[in-house]
Structure 1
Amino acid sequence: MIRKIKKYATTNTLVVFGIILGLVFGILFPELALKQKMIGTAFVYFLKMLVVPLVFASIFVAILGLGSIEHLKRMGLKTIGLYILTTALAVVTAIIAMNIFHIGEHVSNVGLEYTKAATLAPFSFESMLLSFIPTNIFNALSEGKMMQIIVFAILFGVASLYLIPKQKEVLGSFFTAVSEAMLKMAEWVILLTPIGVFSLISYVIAEQGIDVVFGLYKYVLLVVGVILFHALITLPGVLRFFTKVNPYSYLSDVREAPIMAFSTASSAATLPVSMRVVEEIGEVDKKTASFVLPLGATVSMDGTAAYLSIAVLYIANLAGVALSLGDQLLLGITVVALSVGVAALPSASLVMMVIILNQLGLPIEYMALIVAVDRILDMCRTSLNVTSDLIVTKIVDEFEKRR
């Protein structure tokens, strides 16, 4: 254990250096930073390569290990309930912060246009629910449709519980081996993290430019402030409330996952790292991590929910529209409700923002004013999404150990 902690501590130190050097390199040598994008992209591709087989095998093995549908139901309800709770707390924090600081002055939307919103297919709850069901599991696997993969893996795992012991043993051994092989490959990819992080950060800084951030500094600072508050105050408080675990010691141990999420801006790409660190360093049982983390990578959206709440209220201020307490309550309920389901759709955060703006009667054109810093804030909110996954996984694991 001590050797593993030292190994991850060394990697984390190198990753921090990679972030700092990436920032400096992106500012001083933007042209070179733009040209070396392929290095960071290859790093993310290697991580994403592992996700589909890892998610499918991990969920199947976890369900088979639980042994009964009753146990699966208990763990599933706890997991979904905790994810909804943390998302709701993130939304409440964001709305309170916007009411305290009230940033955003009224500007005209004449000449503003956000054409990307027009490319979205019309949204309906019927289409959202149907999108959970894989009509062709091989197509879902090849295209990485995570919600469909999770649904099929759960059904496949439940069906396997009814097989004779010999058949269950064969399937369990096979998918356990697949999961272990994917995690071994993840170990190799993790060694490339400092280089990948350097490449990704320097490219983003060179592409976005520091001037863009300064132009919207109040908006950026508020989003980042809420994300940090939720990550360092709210989530540790939730972990402490439900368990006796020292939240800051735990978060320090598994910090590589949020750092990776910040660099890649992808919960899915971070999943192999999250599973490795919570099991090896966070002392979470493999069955719990294998079920809770893949689900969280798809439906847990604390960072996205907080960001959307601030963005919508900011757009309301830009449009000169005063939202009542009832409107803000409706905003919060909508964000929490959509955060679980819309994750299965392409461009999830964009879909959610368009739905909410239409529901509140706010002009979509104002999205053009904030999209310039979306890539940088996406890194921050993804890091919070993963932090929430780590917290919920630890809570569920502690519940399971008590039982």
Structure 2
Amino acid sequence: MIQKIKKYSTTNTLVIFGIIFGVLFGILFPELALKQQVIGQIFISFLKMLVVPLVFSSIYIAIMGLGSLNDLKSIGLKTIGLYLLTTALAVLLAIAVMNLVPIGEPTSVEGLEYVKASQVAPFTFEAMILSFIPTNIFNSLADGSMMQIIVFSILFAIASMHLHVKRQELMLDFFTAVTNAMLTMAEWVIKLTPIGVFSLISYVIAEQGVDVVLGLWKYLLMVISVLLIHAVVTLPALLAIFAKINPFKYLSDVREAPIMAFSTASSAATLPVSMRIAEEDGGVDEKHASFVLPLGATVSMDGTAAYLTVAVLYISHLAGVDLSLMDQVLLGVTVVALSVGVAALPSASLVMMVVILNQIGLPVEYIALIVAVDRILDMARTSLNVTSDLVVVKIIDQIQKTTIKEK
């Protein structure tokens, strides 16, 4: 654990240096900064490379980890339903706040004509539903159609539960190995973040000037405000309604885990702490903590979903793209679905940011504008992710205990 914290802290320090030197390089040597853009493009390509296998394998093992179909129908459905509910509420909150207090003035960048941005297709419910269903999964995998991959991986995992036990174990071992390999590769790519940040930042500074970057304080404040509202209003309300306990006392008792998450910016690194705190200080049954929290580290991403929603809407404003209400609803559905496949690693949401920007038709170069404060926001949103996990496990625990008493 200490080694992981030290490793992530080192990465954070290097990213800060990458930002500083990128800004200086873009100001002092704009011509060179424009020519080295390929380095940033390579970094983004590495992020894209991980998306499909990581999402497919992580969702598969999350569903298979539920065990039997009976478990899937009982505690599994309750758990996933609550996780999706909290994530959806976080996304709705982000959309509402961004519409009430829109930030991001339209900007234009010479050399980055927003051709794709004008190709946002009109929303229809039929088109949305059909877009979720793959007609050829191999085409979906090759094209990186995330929604279709998610639907197929869920159905594939459920179908795998009908196989012989030995074959189930074989399949689970295989996809667990795939996930672990992808996570290892993700760690390698994340180590390249300082270089990627340097390249992207210096290019944007050289192309747009420093004024745009200085305007990020509104974006930073907006993301943190949405995360705080969800943490102190939405989640406590769910605890009070479903678990019927004093939410703030419970959150105070388990505060060590979100603090650890803030320090490491990793849900995976925080998982052992979350399980111990939930059991010892939160009064959660061991079997519920052992089942719900590991699943939450994969599928519960309230902070990440809220962050992605604010970031994409902010980028759309910068690009001068006015998304309709139904476009924003579709964005929300996509973010909720994709957040399930976000790896529990620092800055892994950058992977999903690339996917969403491509889907909407916005240039991925805009990631450079928000990556300057991404590490700070990464710690904040990871802390909210873990807080949401602790809220859901307590609700499940209280519901199960109440059900047993009634029987």
The CA deviation at 1:322 is 1.1
Distance in 2 (CA, whole Å) between partners of 1:378 and 1:346 is 7
Alignment-derived partner of residue 276 in structure 2: 276
Q: Is the 8 A contact 1:109 1:319 kept in 2?
A: no
| Inter-partner Cα distance in structure 2 for 1:123 and 1:222 | 30
Match of 2:340, SS?
Answer: helix
SS of equivalent residue, structure 1 residue 145: helix
Query: Which whole-Å deviations, capped at 9, do the CAs of 1:125-146 have from their partners, x for residues lacking one?
Result: 5555677879776666667639
C-alpha distance in 1 between matches for 2:307 and 2:181: 22
Note if contact 2:261-2:383 (Cα within 8 Å) is conserved in structure 1: yes
Give the equivalent residue in structure 2 for 1:123. 144
Hey, what's the Cα distance between the residues in 2 that align with 1:393 and 1:277?
12
Q: Deviations over 1:146-175 (max 9, x none)?
A: 999xxxxxxxxxxxxxxxxxxxxxxxxxxx
Q: Distance in 2 between matches of 1:126 and 1:333?
A: 13
The answer to whether the aligner puts 1:219 opposite 2:219 as a matched pair is yes
CA RMSD in angstroms, aligned pairs only: 4.0
- In structure 2, relative to structure 1, the CA distance for the partners of 1:269 and 1:342 (3 Å cut) is closer
Q: Quote the Cα distance in structure 1 between the aligned partners of 2:153 and 2:342.
A: 9
Instruction: Give the aligned partner of residue 291 of structure 1.
Output: 291
SS at match of 1:94: helix
Paired residue for 2:70?
Answer: 70
Per-residue CA deviation, residues 21-78 of structure 1 (Å, 9 max, x unaligned), is x9xxx8xxx9xxxxxxxxxxxxxxxxxxxxxxxxx9xx98x96xxxx85355310000
| TM-score (norm. length: structure 2) | 0.61
Distance change in 2, residues 1:279/1:359 (3 Å): same
Structure 1: tracts of 5 or more residues without a match: 1-21, 31-55, 114-119, 149-202
- How far residue 257 of structure 1 moved from its aligned partner, in angstroms, is 0.5
Secondary structure at 1:332 match in 2 = helix
Do 1:279 and 1:285's aligned partners in 2 also have CA atoms closer than 8 Å? yes
Cα drift, residue 376 of structure 1: 1.1
Please state if 1:335 is matched with 2:335.
Answer: yes
Count of residue pairs the alignment pairs up: 286
Residue equivalent to 1:358: 358
Contact 2:301 2:385 survives alignment (8 Å):
yes
- For residue 352 of structure 1, report the CA deviation from its aligned partner: 2.4
Displacement of 1:396 in angstroms is 0.3
- Whole-angstrom CA distance in 2 between matches of 1:277 and 1:363: 42
Q: Which amino acid aligns with 1:232?
A: V
- Within a 5 Å distance, the mapping from 1:304-319 to structure 2 comes to 304-319=304-319
1:367, distance to aligned residue in structure 2 (A): 1.5
Q: Determine if contact 1:146/1:344 at 8 Å carries over to the other structure.
A: no
Distance 1:93 1:127, change over 3 A: closer
Aligned match of 2:108: 108
Amino acid in structure 1 at the alignment position of 2:281: I
The one-character-per-residue Cα deviations of 1:289-344 (angstroms, maximum 9, x if unpaired) are: 00000000011010010000000100011001111111111111111122224549
Residue in 1 that maps onto 2:324 = 324
Q: Is the 8 A contact 1:308 1:353 kept in 2?
A: yes
Query: How far is 1:356 from its partner?
Result: 2.1
Q: Structure 1 CA distance, aligned partners of 2:382 and 2:223?
A: 12
The AA in structure 2 aligned to 1:87 is T
Q: Is the 8 A contact 2:256 2:277 kept in 1?
A: yes
Partners of 2:313 and 2:401 in 1: CA distance: 42
SS at match of 1:381: helix
Q: Hey, what does 2:58 align to over in structure 1?
A: none
Q: State the distance in 2 between where 1:315 and 1:383 align.
A: 24
Cα distance in 2, alignment partners of residues 292 and 376 from structure 1: 27
Which amino acid letter does the alignment assign opposite residue 339 of structure 1? S
Provide the residue aligned with 2:380 in structure 1: 380
CA contact (8 A) 2:265 2:346 kept: no
Match of 1:36 in 2: none
Tell me the amino acid that sits aligned with residue 231 of structure 2.
Answer: A
Per-residue deviation, 1:365: 2.0
TM (normalized to structure 1)? 0.62
Per the TM alignment, residue 241 of structure 1 is displaced from its structure 2 partner at its CA by: 1.0
Residue 345 and residue 284 in structure 1: after superposition, are their counterparts in 2 closer, same or farther (change >3 A)? Answer: closer
Which residue in the other structure is 2:180 paired with?
A: 145
Q: CA contact under 8 A between 1:147 and 1:298: conserved in structure 2? A: no
Instruction: Give the corresponding residue for 1:301.
Output: 301
**Matched residue, 1:264:** 264
Relative to 1, partners in 2 of residues 1:131 and 1:70: Cα closer, same or farther, differing over 3 Å?
Answer: closer
3-state SS of paired residue (1:322): coil
Alpha carbons of structure 1 residues 112 and 311: separation in structure 2 relative to 1, 3 Å: same
Query: 2:87 & 2:397 partners in 1: Cα distance?
Result: 19
Q: CA deviation at 1:112?
A: 6.3
Give per-residue Cα distances to partners, 1:191-246, cap 9 Å, x unaligned: xxxxxxxxxxxx9xxx99xx999651110011001001101110000111112110
Q: Measured at CA, do residues 130 and 330 of structure 1 come closer, stay the same or move farther in structure 2, by a change above 3 Å? A: closer
> 2:49: which partner in 1?
none
The unaligned stretches of length 5 or more in structure 2 are: 1-8, 18-60, 114-140, 158-167, 184-193, 202-209
